[in-house]
């Protein structure tokens, strides 16, 4: 029934909106909104709080995307799509922090891992390669976002047009949420991860 798509979106939105980076930062005595890049996502936790905490937040952010999508996608790939959008939008626009969240990369990766494992692993490889070359998380994230619809189109089996459209929308969301990073990259002022 149509209302299950709304349920899958809303449940995923609520889970996705849990600001683990902000919570971990607060526990350690940092307000990430006022430290580093001012972002509450994984990268800023790495920079401001530490590697161990950054890894923990990455895993938590990944799981809050993976779990609801994995659950809802069992019923229908289209419910999975709704869950992916909900989880990412929840992370990016968390109501717990006045609708200013992270950039959605770890949560998006977890969501995609549950919906389309092979393309997700391939874009993770793109992210790793670009991060290794440039030492800029934003470059890896933007490159992976660009690769997502391409990999899905050529590897998805079968290729659902609505999911292809969503992969393009995810790419757009990634670029919009990385506006400040793109400006810094153009000015050659984007700091390395370490």
Residue 62: its pLDDT value, please?
97
The tens place of each residue's pLDDT in the chain, 194 residues long, gives: 789 999 999 999 999 999 999 999 999 999 999 998 899 999 999 999 999 999 999 999 999 999 999 999 999 989 999 999 999 999 999 999 999 999 999 999 999 999 999 999 999 999 999 999 999 999 999 999 999 999 999 998 788 898 899 999 999 999 999 999 999 999 999 988 76
Rounded distance between C-alpha atoms, residue 49 and residue 163, angstroms: 36
Q: Residues with Cβ < 8 Å from 104, sequence gap 6 or more?
A: 41, 88, 89, 91, 92, 173, 174, 177
pTM: 0.90
Rounded distance between C-alpha atoms, residue 189 and residue 65, angstroms: 30
Rounded distance between C-alpha atoms, residue 16 and residue 5, angstroms: 16
Residue 1: its pLDDT value, please?
75
Residue 37: its pLDDT value, please?
86
Residue 156: its pLDDT value, please?
82
Whether the Cβ atoms of residue 32 and residue 102 lie closer than 8 Å to each other: no
Residue 191: its pLDDT value, please?
87
3-state secondary structure of 136: coil
Whether the Cβ atoms of residue 137 and residue 120 lie closer than 8 Å to each other: no
């Amino acid at each position: 029934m149509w209302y299950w798509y709304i349920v899958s979106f809303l449940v995923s939105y609520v889970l996705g909106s849990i600001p683990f980076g902000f919570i971990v930062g607060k526990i350690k005595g940092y307000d990430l909104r006022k430290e580093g890049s001012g972002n509450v996502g994984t990268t800023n936790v790495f920079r401001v709080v530490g590697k161990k905490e950054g890894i923990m937040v990455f895993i938590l952010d990944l799981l809050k995307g993976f779990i609801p999508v994995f659950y809802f996608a069992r019923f229908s790939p289209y419910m999975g799509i709704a869950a992916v959008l909900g989880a990412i939008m929840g992370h990016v626009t968390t109501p717990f922090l006045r609708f200013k969240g992270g950039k959605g990369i770890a949560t998006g990766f977890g969501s995609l891992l549950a919906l389309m494992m092979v393309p997700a692993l391939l874009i993770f490889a793109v992210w790793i390669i670009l991060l290794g070359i440039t030492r800029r998380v934003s470059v890896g994230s933007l490159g992976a976002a660009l690769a997502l619809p391409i990999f899905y189109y050529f590897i998805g089996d079968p290729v659902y047009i609505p999911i292809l459209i969503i992969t393009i929308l995810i790419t757009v969301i990634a670029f919009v949420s990385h506006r400040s990073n793109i400006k810094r990259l153009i000015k050659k002022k984007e700091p390395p991860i370490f």
